[in-house]
Structure 1
Amino acid sequence: MELKANAALVIIDQQKGILHPRLGRRNNPEAEARMLEMLGHWRRTARPVIHVQHLSRSEDSVFWPLQSGVEFQQRFEPMAGERLIQKQVPDAFCSTGLEAQLREAGIGQLIIVGVATHNSVESTARTAGNLGFDTWVAEDACFTFDKADFFGHAHSAEEVHGMSLGNLHGEYATVVSSAQILSAD
């Protein structure tokens, strides 16, 4: 594992709405701390940071644009010089220009963190891998929520998280811990 000098940290949907209690029980309570450690490292080493913000098309979403849930959490507020990608669907590549921006900047390696593991993280990582980017997902810098499967069987956030990471690892991305990523520098 080698972390490239221009590896981009992609922080997905760290907005106020993701903390809303109506989303239910989540896993990985230390995820934000891991994300912030990585963000600090990226800023100290002057690597590119990409903040992804979800602007929902659904009025009942925690990310509906006309309310405070759509705003970035203060601790994840983009700094000058960091890229902002606004999306309306889970995949950060869909209709956003992200791929073109990465290609233009010569960025081939993406480190993905954020929420929710089974939704925007998995969707974005799948596309990144399919497009040929060297894609890493930091398993301890993501989280998700309890969710029922198609047949109505309840699954814990830990199970949903694990299955989503299992879907990605080895096919679309390399799933590793934040410590492994930071030590690869």
Structure 2
Amino acid sequence: MAISKTNNPALILIDIQKGFDDIEYWGGERNNLDAETNAAEILKLWRENNLPIFHIQHCSSNPKSLLNENNAGNAFKDLVKPTEDEIVIKKNVNSAFIGTNLKEQLDNANIETLVILGLTTDHCVSTTTRMAGNFGCKTFVVSDATATFNKKGIDGQDFSAELIHQTALASLNNEFANVVKTDFILQNIK
């Protein structure tokens, strides 16, 4: 199951922003601490092959959010910072498709294959992936280039970041996307 360069696959980097470095703010526990390093490896491959890249930036409408445009946490992490010629799409909801022109840009470029990674697995990565699958895109989610935080259940129970991550990926796999690892992507771009 190679990803053909001739199909012009797009890399969608979701919300890899400095505000997510404040683990306490988001719940106190985060999984997959190498996610950004893996994302940077994949980004390097896309740049070397001159393939389409879309950086998604969450711009919270809440002025107190670390991801609000007026806060330093809104900035992209240095490991995956966009170059001047790479597309940045700003959003203020979980899906990169809602309130943006992402779908239009993909359609105009005849892009049907997407590789999605970023933060957080159960929110913006999941929501964007579900919509991509519903739009009929051939979609891959890179499990070790995504991460999330722990959550409190409706009855106050604690759910670990890894459990939330794995459950979100299980819900996506073979339904909305193929869930793969970084090594798969690096070895299967042909």
Same fold judged by TM-score > 0.5? Answer: yes
How far off its partner does 1:4 sit? 2.4
- Tell me by how many angstroms 1:29 deviates: 1.1
* Alignment check: 8 A CA contact 2:151 2:158 kept: yes
Could you say which residue in structure 1 is the equivalent of 2:56? Answer: 52
Deviates more, 1:28-37 or 1:75-84: 75-84
Shift in Å at residue 81 of structure 1?
Answer: 2.2
Please name the residue that 2:103 is paired with.
99
Deviations 1:26-67 (A, max 9, x none): 001111111011011111111111100000011221101111
User: Partner residue of 2:158?
Assistant: 154
Partner of 2:167: 163
What SS does the corresponding residue of 2:123 show, helix, strand or coil? helix
CA contact (8 A) 2:142 2:180 kept: yes
| Residue of structure 1 in register with 2:2 after alignment | 2
Q: 2:18 aligns with which of 8, 16, 19?
A: 16
The amino acid across from 1:80 in the alignment is E
Please report how far the alpha carbon of residue 75 of structure 1 lies from its aligned counterpart in structure 2 after TM superposition. Answer: 2.2
The equivalent residue for 1:28 is 32
- Structure 1-normalised TM-score? 0.97
**Alpha-carbon distance between aligned partners in 2 of 1:68 and 1:40, rounded to the nearest angstrom:** 25
Q: Where does structure 1 lack aligned partners over 5 or more consecutive residues?
A: none
Cα distance, 1:116 vs. partner?
0.4
Q: CA deviation at 1:149?
A: 2.3
Paired with 2:81 and 2:180, the residues of 1 have a C-alpha distance of 25
Identity of aligned residues (%): 38
Q: Deviations over 1:138-165 (max 9, x none)?
A: 0000000011223322110000000000
> Within 1, Cα distance between the matches of 2:90 and 2:181?
26
Deviations 1:82-139 (A, max 9, x none): 1111000010000101001000001100000100001000000000000011010000
Which letter does structure 2 place at the counterpart of 1:172? F
Structure 1 vs Structure 2 CA RMSD: 1.0
Q: State how far apart, in whole Å, the 2-side matches of 1:85 and 1:131 are.
A: 18
Count of matched residue pairs: 185
User: What is the distance in 2 between the residues matched to 1:127 and 1:150?
Assistant: 26
- Residue of structure 2 in register with 1:42 after alignment: 46
Which residue identity does 2:97 align to in structure 1?
Answer: F
